[in-house]
Amino acid sequence: MKLSENWLREWVNPPATATELAHKLNMAGLEAEAEPMLTVLPQGIVVGKIVSATPHPQADRLRVCEVDAGTGEILQIVCGAANARPGILIPAALPGAVLPNGTQIGKAALRGVESSGMLCSASELGLAEKSEGLLELDPGAKPGTPIEKHLGLVDNSIVLELTPNRGDALSILGLARETAALYGIQMTAPRVKPAVVEPETRISVVVEDMAGCPHYVGRVVQGLDAAARTPDWMSERLRRSGIRTIHPVVDITNYVLLELGQPMHGFDAAQLKGAIRVRRAKAGEQLKLLNEQTISLDPRDLLITDDSGPLVLAGVMGGEASGCSTTTTSIFLEAACFEPVSIATSGRRHKLLSDSRYRFERGVDPALQRQALERATALVQEICGGKAGPIVEVGTAPAHVAEIGLRHSQVNRLLGCEIPAARIAPLLQSLGMSVNPTGASSWQIKVPPHRYDLRIEADLVEEIGRLHGYDNIAPRAYAAELAPFSPKETTRALDRVKDALVARGYQEVVTYSFVDPKIQAQLDPETPGVALDNPIAETMSVMRTTIWSGLIPTWQYNRQRQQKRARLFEAGAVYALEGEANREQAKLAGLIAGPALPEQWGAAARPVDFFDAKADLEALFGTSLRYEAGQHPALHPGRTARIVRDGVAVGWLGALHPKLADMLDVPDALYLFELDWAAVRDIALPVPGGVSEFPSSRRDLAFVVDEAVAAGAIAEVIRDAAGPLLKSLQTFDVYRGTGLPPGRKSIAFGLIFQDYSRTLNVEEVDAAAQSVAASVHARLGGLVRD
């Protein structure tokens, strides 16, 4: 938001330059910057009046104008603007003038006609990027007045970037209030007398939802001059805040918005049907807005309506039929306070941004409406004339919004410095608070209604610190009581897992949680995603339901830059819809692609396969995970495993589905894994044990089983049948081919037996091996291969 420094100084004039003022505001928590309104001022340009304008004898589009520029003589200036006509006042660049862009103006002959200067548009003065026609000035402007004086161009813009809790400072009133408090000086607001009520014309107002609209005021103003124009001083102030002039009534409501922080609306009273109602929308209602967009209303939307239907999406944007036009002579001015959350949700729901919504969703002073209505009425009568009707008011304006107890000891403790008790009341009173002592060093504070952000004692301490000056609080050493973090032995540290992956050649990546909905729909079609109301881009419009949505594009990006080998992983959150609620879940995911080993002479090159990815997971989690054949829409039907722990599915491992590989243009083998971190982070409590002094015995058993039987299933049976003497088990061979029936395979295991108290005899080891063979045959149909 931008506000004019000159305008601010009419309210409060601190002994500081614009730069010093901006610094002071910054130090008080209001991010501000001062910048010149114009970096280069025009020179030699004055107010001029066109006395006559006749067609150029040699050019149809040119006019030969006689101009009174206050020099004592009438100047002849050739102009090509379509609006050049007798009687209007415009900026006239006299010979020797210099425009802000550096152009020097002199006498010239245009198509054989002498021209002593140039008539200027707003863009030629540096006041607009582009403009059509001459800049028309107020009829009362005096010819010969320097244009920088008439328009007040010697000015600075105070550029504010306020945090959402400081909606009270989004106006000249709010900024002046802060400035006066920071410098300890008085603020002088324009005096506005209540309008004299002449006709008793009024429009009834009914507020059906007092929670959504606790305060509403309005009045009729009749007999307006439809030909009135917005004066230059108001147009300039609006322009310097980034608001273009539209219509005098609209400009006045925008002016009051900037001056007081109260959004307003002016209805064409002749177009209203019956009473004004503030209510929630009905099912099926629609509203065509001022931006020509038609929206379907939600029953949660707050509306301003008349008997004909919706007129305004309350607090957000007016309807097309609710505004004023060039024929408007009677208006209904309204000012209201709306509940912030309701306005914010309606704005987000319909993706509408406006100055009104920006303020209402941050909180507008619920006691400001009557003051704003009187100010707007006075401006309307000053610019457009007219007679004001009585004010119609629904609801009451609160005197304060909170009462908070404050203790001197807490002020000093939280700020870390000594603030004299005698200073506290004046500091808070300078912000409009009511301070009542409740003891020798305690107070009861009544918070004014414009400060929505002050609710607890610490908020008041912060205000005292701001006004005292953070730079006046001396640094000092503090004794911190910090309890060292002690992770549980039964919890696997994520950092250690990351270190292990890095040690195995992986690189950690951090991708956006916002992903391309098209890619995500292919990778995880069964999980409903969370759509963003205001996405950065169309390709980042949903929250990810799987980390693969970011890993695969990352690999594509790197592969396009000649990176042939990839080992990527990411630990982060994924999001999904569960009914109307959002669910957040921590995941650990990885991707491998390209050659299995870096290019070298010691091993033959080969692409990565399923078992490379599985080996990485086993290096992280050991034998606590089992891998079962499964089906996943994003993974290859024959190279996919569901990862299971203690009978519960915790993730997936597999190759990217061939159709997806073609769609994403990924020709290389690509393997992915993803785990639910909460399901795999717990580990068994380590149990110490001694090292056996006695020799071990090994038996190798090869089992012929069906192709569908997994090695993991055989290993599980072996461990159950071998008993406590089995200390180690490993798979060392898989064979298919000659000597085996079709559909069968041979898997060989090495079993190592050992006891801590004695040397095992052959009979014990053979008995355990026979028990294993019998169990594998009984449970899996496996036969020991000779």
> Are 247 and 306 found together in one domain?
yes
> Are 257 and 372 found together in one domain?
yes
Q: Are 5 and 160 in contact (CB under 8 A)?
A: no
Residue 188 lies in a domain: no
Write the secondary structure of 503-552 as one string of H (helix), E (strand) and C (coil).
Answer: HCCCEECCCCCEECHHHHHHHCCCCCCCECCCCCCHHHCEECCCCHHHHH
**Beta partners for residue 90, in sequence order:** 48
> Are 231 and 300 found together in one domain?
yes
pLDDT at res. 131: 85
Of 623, 650, 680, which residue sits at a domain end?
680
Range of weakest confidence among 156-165, 439-448, 687-696:
687-696
Q: Give the tens place of pLDDT for each residue, 61-79.
A: 899 999 999 988 999 999 9
pLDDT at res. 474: 87
> Are 630 and 654 found together in one domain?
yes
CATH code of the domain containing 18: 3.30.56.10
Sign of the Cα pseudo-torsion (68, 73, 74, 79, in order): negative
pLDDT at res. 699: 92
Range of weakest confidence among 3-12, 388-397, 556-565, 685-694:
685-694
CA–CA distance, 603 with 669 (Å, rounded to integer): 19
Residue 127 lies in a domain: yes
CA–CA distance, 134 with 45 (Å, rounded to integer): 13
pLDDT at res. 502: 95
pLDDT at res. 656: 93
Residue 398's pLDDT band (boundaries 50, 70, 90)?
Answer: confident
Q: Give the tens place of pLDDT for each residue, 560-570.
A: 888 889 999 99
> Are 624 and 580 found together in one domain?
yes
Q: Give the tens place of pLDDT for each residue, 660-695.
A: 888 888 877 899 999 999 999 888 877 777 788 899
Q: Is 655 a residue whose pLDDT tops 90? A: yes
CA–CA distance, 718 with 623 (Å, rounded to integer): 14
> Are 658 and 582 found together in one domain?
yes
pLDDT at res. 654: 94
Residue 688 lies in a domain: no
173-193: average pLDDT: 93
Q: Is 575 a residue whose pLDDT tops 90? A: yes
Of the candidates 707, 714, 781, 715, the one whose C-alpha atom is nearest the C-alpha of residue 737 is 707
Q: Are 10 and 175 in contact (CB under 8 A)?
A: no
Residue 486 lies in a domain: no
Residue found by looking up tokens 């992770």 in the block: 487
The pLDDT mean for the chain works out to 91
Residue found by looking up tokens 């400001």 in the block: 368
Q: Are 104 and 42 in contact (CB under 8 A)?
A: no
pLDDT at res. 597: 87
Structural domain count of the chain: 6
Residue 175 lies in a domain: yes
Region label for 150, one of left (φ > 0), alpha (ψ between -120 and 50) or beta (otherwise): alpha
> Are 280 and 328 found together in one domain?
yes
> Are 8 and 50 found together in one domain?
no
Residue 151's pLDDT band (boundaries 50, 70, 90)?
Answer: very high
Q: Are 285 and 323 in contact (CB under 8 A)?
A: no
Q: Is 479 a residue whose pLDDT tops 80? A: no
Q: Containing domain of residue 108, as a range? A: 43-150
> Are 71 and 213 found together in one domain?
no
Q: Is 329 a residue whose pLDDT tops 90? A: yes
Residue found by looking up tokens 């169990």 in the block: 775
SS3 427: helix
Residue 454's pLDDT band (boundaries 50, 70, 90)?
Answer: very high
Residue 685 lies in a domain: no
pLDDT at res. 682: 87
Query: Can you say how many angstroms the Cα of residue 386 is from the centroid of all Cα atoms in its chain?
Result: 44
Hey, what are 780's tokens?
A: 């899996």
Residue 723 lies in a domain: yes
Of 347, 376, 395, which residue sits at a domain end?
395
411-433: average pLDDT: 92
Q: Is 747 a residue whose pLDDT tops 80? A: yes
CATH code of the domain containing 212: 3.50.40.10
Calculate what percentage of the chain has a pLDDT beyond 90: 67
CA–CA distance, 467 with 184 (Å, rounded to integer): 9
Tally the C-alpha atoms within 13 A of residue 141's C-alpha that lie toward its C-beta.
Answer: 32
Q: Give the tens place of pLDDT for each residue, 289-312.
A: 988 899 999 999 999 999 999 999
Residue 433 lies in a domain: yes
Higher pLDDT, 92 or 397: 92
pLDDT at res. 666: 80
pLDDT at res. 745: 92
Query: Can you say how many angstroms the Cα of residue 690 is from the centroid of all Cα atoms in its chain?
Result: 59
589-616: average pLDDT: 90
pLDDT at res. 674: 96
CA–CA distance, 34 with 420 (Å, rounded to integer): 33
What DSSP state is assigned to residue 318?
E
Q: Is the pTM of this model over 0.95?
A: no
pLDDT at res. 550: 93
> Are 295 and 428 found together in one domain?
no
> Are 343 and 421 found together in one domain?
no
pLDDT at res. 710: 86
711-720: average pLDDT: 89
> Are 383 and 498 found together in one domain?
no
